[in-house]
Each structure stands twice: as C-alpha cells, then as structure tokens.
Amino acid sequence: MKLIYTVCTSNYLYQALTLGESIEKTNPDYEFIICLADKIPVLDFEIPYKIIPVESINFPALEDYSTKFITLELACALKPIFALHLLAIYPALEKLIYLDTDIYLYRSLEDVEKNLDEHDIIITPHITKEIPLSERWNEKQYLNAGLYNAGFIAFKRTENTLKFLDWWQTHLNKYGYLDYCKGMGADQLCLNFVPVFYDKVLIDYNPGLNIAYWNFQERELSVKDGSYFVNDINPLVFFHFSGYNPEKPKLVSKHLKLSSNKNQQALKQILQQYRISLIKNHFNYFKGIIPAYGIYVAPPKEKHIVGKLIEKSAWKVINYIENF
C-alpha cells in the first residue's frame, strides 16, 4: 500500500482537491487521504477522496489544542498525530508521504520511493546554495523559519521513524506556536534537529523537489515540449505554491511579487494553470468557511495605498542602513 496524506482545515479544501488531482495524474498508484483539522463541511457536491476528520481519530487533547493554537498551528501540530494514526490503521502501510495542500505534483515520486528503500526519513532544505549578504532576502530568514521545509516529508515504517514522530508530536504540543521571537516556528523549526537526532535521514537536494518562492534565486523554471524543468536539466517533480492567492494572480506568494522578467514565462504559465485548477475546485465556496477548531484569525485587510508607500520607503531605509 502506498499513501500520500495532507492536513488542512475546511477553508483550504480547494487546495487539497487540486493536490489530489495532481496525484491522480502523476502517481495513480498512490491512495490520497485528506486529514481534516476540522469538521467535515456540508457540501452539495462529492469529494472523491477519503477524508479523516480529527474528531474521528480518538485524540483526547483536541479541545486543549483547539483553545491554545491558531488554525494554522493546529493543522501543523496534527501532522505527526495523523501520521501515527495512519500507520496504526493500515498495518500494510510501509511508506508514507506527507504533502502540504498547496503543493502540485508534475511527475512521479518514484525516486522518493526508491530513496525510502535505504532511508527512514526524507526532508528537503529550503535552500542549497549560499546567498550574497547584499541581498535583502538572505540566510537570516531561513534561520528563523528553519533549514528544512515541513511541506514535504517522506517516512518508512521503522522504529526510528516512530521515535521521530513521537518526539515531533510531543515537541509540537508544547512548542508548536508560530512565534519566531521565541524561537518557535510551528512544526518546521524543530526539523533542524532531525538529521542530528535520528538515523537514516536523507536530506534530498534534488532541485526538482519543493521549488517555491524561497528558492527562486537558485532554481529557474523552464518548459520544454510541455514538461517543466528546473535549471534546464532537472525535471520538476512538485511545485509548492506557498502563500499563493488566486484572487491576486500577480503575486507568486503573499511574500513575493511576480517578476516581469521574460525568463519567468514558465513560472507565469504554471501559476495561471494552478489558479484555474483552484477556482474549478470550489475556491469561492471553501474560502469563506470558518474552521470549527483552533483560534480563527481573519485574513488581514488590504493595505491602504498610503500604508504601502510608507512600507516601501521603510524597506529602502532598512536596506540603506544594513549596507552602510
């Protein structure tokens, strides 16, 4: 049995459905399960994938988690808990892959699967090359957010993996908050310790895995004969659309504006295709759902034009001071 799972709240089910479609196209031999950090919403259409709501997994700490974590933190903290649940209910499950809902697969995960023959845990680094200190976006940001991205993790059923998952869930129960000033980055920052604490951990440097706004400076997307490649020669396996909002198509992410550079045509194409899929998968229906669990934080309002100008000027001053 081969299984991919994701964890989300109901207001992001449009992303989960889009991820599921990409799995069906590229990895039809995998079962896909949506683990819901929420109650199942009432729908007038059918979801073609198995959904496991958190209230169905006999998790006694749900009320505690719901009152201390915001919805994002809650979904992150449930990743290892759902992984342990899936390994418990599927005794034949030997290999398990976690993907964030805002990921889209473009090729088979066969290389990841092969790597699990020799390794117990696979993680991907945010970046693999040094960044000039003159850049506004440099290594300091990654030290805050973590060296590895928690949007993709692959596991093999071993005692080593079970120890990791147990440590991860215990750690997140206490430190699963998104508070960089206190050294807490939800589920992600603690992944820094995984290659230190556990055996048979593969840090996968394949540039075709987990391309996103945080590594554009080292990974250029191109298209050849209808297929996407990274840095010309590496097939794109999956793209992580972190922070993407189909209502703001000019933004690659809420963290990064899309460049007008002609070399970005493949990126523009991939964003347009993804946007169409999200809207088709009921973006307008799901986006307004308020999750049943966790402390709900409303999306920030659009900044006033004056505020945007002040923010832009402030960044210029900061850059001047840092480079003085």
DSSP state string for 253-294 = ETTEEPP--GGGHHHHHHHHHHHHHHHHTTHHHHTTPPPSSS
Of 90, 99, 92, 139, the C-alpha closest to 122 is 99
For 242-255, what is the mean pLDDT? 91
Which pair of structure tokens corresponds to residue 92?
Answer: 């034949």
Options 3.40.50.10490, 2.60.120.10, 2.60.120.590, 3.90.550.10; which CATH number does 2-322 get? 3.90.550.10
Q: Is the pLDDT of residue 162 over 80?
A: yes
Q: What is the pLDDT of residue 66?
A: 97
* Residue of higher predicted confidence among 180 and 307: 180
Residue given tokens 């992984």 in the structure block? 83
Which pair of structure tokens corresponds to residue 259?
Answer: 């460049």
For 132-154, what is the mean pLDDT? 85
Q: How confident is the model at residue 139 (pLDDT cuts 50, 70, 90)?
A: confident
Residue given tokens 């790597």 in the structure block? 115
Question: Which pTM was predicted?
Answer: 0.91
For 113-141, what is the mean pLDDT? 89
Q: How confident is the model at residue 311 (pLDDT cuts 50, 70, 90)?
A: low
Q: 126 and 209 in contact (C-beta within 8 Å)?
A: no
Q: What is the pLDDT of residue 131?
A: 86
Of 87, 99, 84, the C-alpha closest to 7 is 99
Q: Are strands 121-125 and 201-203 parallel, antiparallel or unpaired?
A: parallel
Q: Is the pLDDT of residue 76 over 60?
A: yes
Of 201, 74, 229, 15, the C-alpha closest to 125 is 201
Q: Is the pLDDT of residue 323 over 70?
A: no
Which pair of structure tokens corresponds to residue 301?
Answer: 């309002």
Instruction: Give the residue extent of every domain in the chain.
Output: 2-322
